[in-house]
Structure 1
Amino acid sequence: MASTKDESARLIYAPNVVHNSALGSVKFLASCFAGAVAGILGLENWQGFAFFAASILFTTACIYVVNCKGRTAKYIPGGVKELTNPGQDNVFSFVLVWTLFYGIVHGISLSPGYA
């Protein structure tokens, strides 16, 4: 007897899932780009994380409209909930690039002796 999870997995069209395997890369690059922008803008503390949340929502909206054409359950197991999940790796990548660009752009002015 098949469980409900197995039945819902059969409803997903396999070529769509294979075609959208690049979504992880898109979300990763969007997180890195958002980190670079947040660092260049000099965002600190909660402003930076709010910018990250906004970038995740914007990326999700773009993927939802352009790639999935409003039918995420057909393309992504878990639907919109899985699409909006930023993933632990993307959060860490955002913070890494954010601090890197913040240090490059704003770090010298904070160091003593470089006035």
Structure 2
Amino acid sequence: MSTPAEAAAQQLLYVPNVQFNSSLTTVKFLAACFSGAVAGILGLQNWSGFALFLASTLLTSLCIHTINCRGHPAKYIPNGWAGLINPGQDNASTFILVWTLFYGIVHVYD
């Protein structure tokens, strides 16, 4: 049974925006996976790999800003640009995991 405060907070959530934000997290997660795979296959090490992650995060955020948000990220995402560019701890960890996995698979005998 929910309290009146919880019921009031749930009424503030607009379901289409919640669904939109869940698809954005999926897109950002897949972008982190693919950029980690590219960094591992190319054999990038140290700061060059993280530079690729930063570039892919910025490119993904720019694409989401122009295509999905139609130039108004504050309408869909809390904190607007700051919330859009923030990769999140999960995506950074995913990038590092996939990066080391593909680096180990491709460059095992180098």
Say how many residue pairs are matched. 99
The TM-score normalised by the length of structure 1 is 0.80
The alpha-carbon deviation at position 14 of structure 1 amounts to 4.9
Q: How much does 1:81 deviate?
A: 0.3
Find the residue that maps to 1:69 and give its secondary structure.
coil
Q: Distance in 2 between matches of 1:37 and 1:14?
A: 35
Aligned residues of 1:36 and 1:98 also touching (Cα < 8 A): yes
**Structure of greater Rg:** 1
* 2:76 aligned with 1:72: no
What residue ranges of structure 2 are gaps of 5+ in the alignment?
1-11
1:29-86, CA deviations, whole angstroms, 9 ceiling, x for partnerless residues? 1001000000000100000000000000000001000000000011111101000000
Runs ≥4 residues deviating over 3 A: none
Letter paired with 2:27 = V
AA aligned to 1:20 is N
Amino acid at match of 1:92: S
Amino acid at match of 1:107: V
Corresponding residue for residue 8 of structure 2: none
CA distance in 2: counterparts of 1:39 and 1:89, whole angstroms: 18
In the TM superposition, 1:76-91 aligns within 5 A as: 76-91=77-92
In 2, Cα distance between the equivalents of 1:43 and 1:100?
12
1:40 is aligned to 2:76 = no
Q: Between 19-28 and 34-43, report the one with greater CA deviation.
A: 19-28
What is the TM-score normalised by the length of structure 2? Answer: 0.84
CA distance in 1, matches of 2:36, 2:67: 23
Identify the residue that residue 49 of structure 1 maps to in structure 2: 50
Give the distance between the partners of 1:78 and 1:88, measured in 2 at CA. Answer: 17
Verify the 8 A CA contact 1:76 1:83 in the aligned structure 2.
yes
CA distance in 1, matches of 2:79, 2:24: 14
Structural mapping, 1:5-44, within 5 Å: 14-44=15-45
Provide the residue aligned with 2:7 in structure 1: none
Give me the identity figure in percent: 64
Task: Flag structure 1 segments of 5+ consecutive residues without an equivalent.
Answer: 1-9, 110-115
